[in-house]
C-alpha cells in the first residue's frame, strides 16, 4: 500500500490506504479501513474490476455493477470475502485527488481518552481519530484538508482535544508519510509472537464511561507488556452502502482491535494470552457486536465465532458460494 501511495503521489492522486504502508493486497480484499474512510469509503468501495481464479481453478473477471439491481452474489462475495474464495490476480481501483493531511498526535491520560472519543464522535467526516492503549495511551487524529476554511475548522477541532504531553500538529503530503500508531515504549518485540482480533461496533455515546472502564480493567490484567487494544474510527461515507458488499457492518463507528502477544515458542504463555483475548472480546461484545476479518484464525477455536460475527446473516449464502467456487477448500475455510 505504501508503494501504491507513493506511485499515486507522483500523479497527484491518492488511495485510502490503512495505518501502515506495509500491508499488501490483503488490506484491500478484507475491507480496507483507512483513516480517510469516513470521507472516502473503504478500500473495497474503490474496486472497479476484479480478476482472478476461484479455488476450483476457474478464471473470473468481474466489473463493478453500475446499479444495485445489477449486483451479483459473486461481486458481493468478492468485496470483503475474496480471501476465502479465490486468488485475486488483478484489481482496477478508483483513485482520488491528493490532498494535504493534518495530523495531531499526543499522549493521553485515561480520562482524556474518554473525552477525545466523545469529541470525535461528533466530528465531520474529514477527520478521524485513532488510539492505542497499552503501557501508555497514544492517539492520532488525521484530517484531510479540502480548502483553507476547512483547514481552520479542522484545526479548531484538533486544538480542543485534551492531551497530557507530546502534542504535535503537523501537515503531511500523503497517508504513507504519517507517523505510526504505536507506543514509543512498546516497540515491536521480535522475541514475541502475536494474534490480532478486529472488532466493529457503533458509537459509544452514553456508554463511553462504561466501555473505558472495561478497557482499563482488561489492559490492567494484560498478560504481556506488548498486549494492547487500539482503535480506528469509521462512520461517514463508510456507512454508505450503495452496492452490497461482504463488509456488512456498515453502521460501525469504531474498529477496536485486540493485540495479544506472548514470548515466542512459549505454549503456556500463548494459551494465557489467547484466553485474555477471548476475555477482551467477551467483555467488549456488548459495544462491538461485529468482527472485521482483517486477520483470520482458522487455527484457533474461535474461528467459527469470528466468521459468524463478521458475516452474520450473509454467512450461509457465502458458504453456499464457496461450496460452488472452492468446493475443496483450497482457500481458507468458511466454517
Ligand X SMILES: Cc1cc2nc3c(=O)[nH]c(=O)nc-3n(C[C@H](O)[C@H](O)[C@H](O)COP(=O)(O)OP(=O)(O)OC[C@H]3O[C@@H](n4cnc5c(N)ncnc54)[C@H](O)[C@@H]3O)c2cc1C
Residues contacting ligand X: total by CB under 6 A: 23
Q: In this structure, are strands 137-144 and 127-133 parallel, antiparallel, or unpaired?
A: antiparallel
Contact (Cβ atoms closer than 8 angstroms) between residue 281 and residue 229: no
Give the range of 4-12, 17-25, 145-153, 154-162 binding ligand X by CB under 6 A.
17-25
State which of residues 22, 61, 210, 221 lies at the interface with ligand X (CB under 6 A).
Answer: 22
Residue 97: closest CA among 33, 146, 133, 44: 146
Beta carbon nearer to ligand X, 157 or 234: 234
Q: Is 118 in the site for ligand X (CB under 6 A)?
A: no
Round the CA-based radius of gyration of the chain to a whole number and report it: 20
Q: Which is nearer to ligand X, 185 or 188 (CB)?
A: 188
Q: Which of 27, 104, 133, 228: binder of ligand X (CB under 6 A)? A: 27
The answer to whether 25 contacts ligand X (rule: CB under 6 A) is yes
Establish if 132 lies at the interface with ligand X (CB under 6 A): no
Q: CA-to-CA distance for 207 and 190, rounded, in angstroms?
A: 37
To the nearest 10 degrees (0 to 180), the angle between helices 315-325 and 303-311 is 110
Could you say which residues in the range 55-74 bind ligand X, by CB under 6 A?
none
Q: Which is nearer to ligand X, 35 or 223 (CB)?
A: 35
Can you tell me which of 14, 30, 105, 246 binds ligand X, judged by CB under 6 A?
30
Shortest distance in whole angstroms from residue 205 CB to ligand X: 24
Beta-carbon contacts of residue 264 (< 8 Å; ≥ 6 apart): 191, 192, 193
| C-beta closer to ligand X: residue 27 or 262 | 27
Task: Tell me the C-alpha distance between 245 and 248, whole Å.
Answer: 7
Smallest separation, CB 20 to ligand X (Å):
3
Cell of 104: 495531531
Closer to ligand X by Cβ: residue 200 or 280? 200
Letter string b/e over residues 147-171, b meaning 16 or more CB atoms within 10 A of that residue's CB: eeebbebbeebbeebebeeebeeee
Which window, 3-11, 21-29, 149-157, 305-313, contacts ligand X (CB under 6 A)? Answer: 21-29
In the complex, minimum distance from the CB of residue 234 to ligand X, in angstroms, rounded to a whole number:
10
How far apart, in whole angstroms, are the C-alpha atoms of residue 291 and residue 307?
8
Q: Which of residues 272-301 bind ligand X (CB under 6 A)?
A: 294-296
19 touches ligand X by CB under 6 A: yes
214 vs 237, which CB is nearer to ligand X? 237
Query: How does strand 254-263 pair with strand 192-200?
Result: antiparallel
DSSP H helices in the chain: 2-10, 25-29, 37-40, 73-81, 110-120, 148-159, 208-220, 267-284, 303-311, 315-325
Is residue 29 a contact point for ligand X (CB under 6 A)? yes
Give the Cα-Cα-Cα angle 301, 201, 183 (nearest 5 degrees). Answer: 80
For the window 216-245, what string marks contact with ligand X as x by the rule CB under 6 A? ----------------x-------------
Select from 4, 8, 33, 229 the one that contacts ligand X (CB under 6 A).
33
Is residue 31 close enough to count as binding ligand X by CB under 6 A?
A: yes
Give CA–CA dist 279/273, Å, rounded.
Answer: 10
Name the residue whose CB lies closest to ligand X.
26
Phi, psi (degrees; rounded to nearest 5) at 205: 40, -120
Q: Does 26 bind ligand X (CB under 6 A)?
A: yes
Per CB under 6 A, does 101 bind ligand X? no
Is residue 32 within the footprint of ligand X (CB under 6 A)? Answer: yes
- In the complex, which residues of this chain contact ligand X (CB under 6 A)? 18-20, 22-27, 29-33, 82-83, 87-88, 232, 294-296, 332
Amino acid at each position: 500500500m505504501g508503494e501504491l501511495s507513493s506511485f499515486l503521489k507522483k500523479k497527484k492522486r491518492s488511495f485510502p490506504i490503512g495505518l501502515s504502508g506495509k500491508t499488501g493486497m490483503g488490506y484491500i480484499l478484507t475491507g480496507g479501513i483507512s483513516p480517510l474512510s469516513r470521507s472516502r469509503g473503504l478500500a473495497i468501495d474503490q474496486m472497479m474490476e476484479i480478476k482472478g481464479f476461484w479455488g476450483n481453478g476457474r478464471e473470473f473477471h468481474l466489473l463493478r455493477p453500475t446499479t444495485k439491481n445489477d449486483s451479483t452474489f459473486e461481486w458481493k462475495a468478492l468485496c470483503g470475502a475474496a480471501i476465502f474464495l479465490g486468488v485475486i490476480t488483478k484489481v482496477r481501483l478508483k483513485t482520488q485527488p491528493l490532498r494535504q493531511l493534518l495530523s495531531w498526535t499526543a499522549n493521553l491520560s485515561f480520562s482524556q481518552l474518554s473525552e477525545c472519543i466523545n469529541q470525535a464522535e461528533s466530528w465531520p467526516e474529514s477527520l478521524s481519530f485513532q488510539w492505542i492503549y497499552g503501557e501508555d495511551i497514544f492517539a492520532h487524529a488525521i484530517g484531510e484538508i479540502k480548502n483553507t476554511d476547512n483547514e481552520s475548522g479542522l484545526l479548531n477541532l484538533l486544538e480542543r482535544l485534551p492531551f497530557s504531553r507530546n502534542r504535535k500538529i503537523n501537515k503531511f503530503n500523503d497517508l504513507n508519510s504519517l507517523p505510526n500508531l504505536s507506543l514509543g515504549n512498546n516497540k515491536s518485540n521480535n522475541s514475541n509472537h502475536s494474534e490480532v482480533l478486529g472488532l466493529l461496533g457503533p458509537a459509544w455515546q452514553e456508554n463511553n464511561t462504561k466501555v473505558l472502564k472495561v478497557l482499563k480493567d482488561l489492559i490492567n490484567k494484560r498478560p504481556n507488556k506488548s498486549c494492547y487494544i487500539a482503535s480506528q474510527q469509521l462512520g461517514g461515507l463508510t456507512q454508505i452502502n450503495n452496492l452490497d458488499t461482504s463488509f456488512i457492518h456498515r453502521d460501525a463507528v469504531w474498529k477496536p482491535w485486540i493485540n495479544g502477544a506472548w514470548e515466542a515458542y512459549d505454549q503456556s504463555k500463548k494459551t494465557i494470552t489467547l484466553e485474555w483475548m477471548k476475555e477482551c472480546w467477551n467483555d467488549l461484545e456488548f459495544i462491538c457486536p461485529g468482527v472485521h476479518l482483517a486477520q483470520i484464525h482458522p487455527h484457533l477455536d474461535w474461528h467459527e465465532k469470528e466468521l459468524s460475527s463478521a458475516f452474520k446473516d450473509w454467512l450461509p449464502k457465502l458458504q453456499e458460494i464457496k461450496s460452488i467456487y472452492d468446493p475443496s477448500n483450497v482457500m481458507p475455510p468458511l466454517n
